[in-house]
Amino acid sequence: MDFDFQTLPAQDRYRLLCSFVAPRPIALVSTCGPDGVPNAAPMSFFNVFSQDPPIVILGIQARPDGTEKDTMRNIRRDGEFVVNMCDMAIAQQMVDCGCAFDEAVDEIDITGLHHAPSYKIAPPRVAEAPASMECRVERLIEFPRRVIVLGEVVQMHVRDGCLDDQGHYLREGTYQPVARLHADNYIVSDQQFVLSETQDIKTRGRS
């Protein structure tokens, strides 16, 4: 089957893209509301794109009525957000944070998660998250119903025990991220394996 993306309705493009560009990592994004009330929402249009500068990217779409989501409004106003990574222990809470709660509701609190203070920015991180990245907005790329947010990571917190003593490498089995497939389908990364280049692969290209 073949699809012309210039004529295909957006919802069909969404289904196709999200079915095949998968699994996608999930950022549980925490921000501060206008009254300082914390806000948290999951975003799977998310990834890291560079370490120098350290850049993460979010794709935040408007609500069906065209208004901006709380996360986007907060990021636009304060220029700060935390990306909290998710494992199975907080997968249900992460999904629950995706409900369209009123702005006055603190999703971290209502889902039974806890706040932990950030070091460099105002929004709290999620205490239960295996890793959290404090970000400042680097730039916003505006589309009619979506904003692509580039965030520079200014501080990273990693749960005790996840890294080796030097803080260089992940200890196997200590971090099994949950990622999104399509719709309400998720997958957990619990089957790690090692794959390296075939020994003589370089010589095969030589004549």
Residues that bind ligand FMN (CB under 6 A): 26, 39, 41-45, 59-61, 69-71, 95, 98-100, 180
Looking at residue 164, its amino acid is: D
Nearer to ligand FMN, 60 or 82 (CB): 60
Rounded least distance, CB 194 to ligand FMN, Å: 29
- Rounded to an integer, what distance in angstroms lies between the CA atom of residue 50 and that of residue 58? 13
Rounded least distance, CB 177 to ligand FMN, Å: 12
Nearer to ligand FMN, 158 or 179 (CB): 179
Rounded least distance, CB 134 to ligand FMN, Å: 18
**Pair 145, 66: CB distance under 8 Å:** yes
Nearer to ligand FMN, 98 or 163 (CB): 98
Nearer to ligand FMN, 156 or 187 (CB): 187
Closest among 129, 119, 124, 152 to 48, alpha carbons compared: 152
Rounded least distance, CB 166 to ligand FMN, Å: 33
- Rounded to an integer, what distance in angstroms lies between the CA atom of residue 31 and that of residue 37? 9
Rounded least distance, CB 190 to ligand FMN, Å: 18
Give burial (CB, 10 Å; 0-12/13-18/19+) of 139: exposed
Nearer to ligand FMN, 45 or 113 (CB): 45
Residues 6+ apart with CB under 8 A from 123: 30, 31, 32, 38, 74, 78, 80, 81, 82
**Pair 133, 86: CB distance under 8 Å:** no
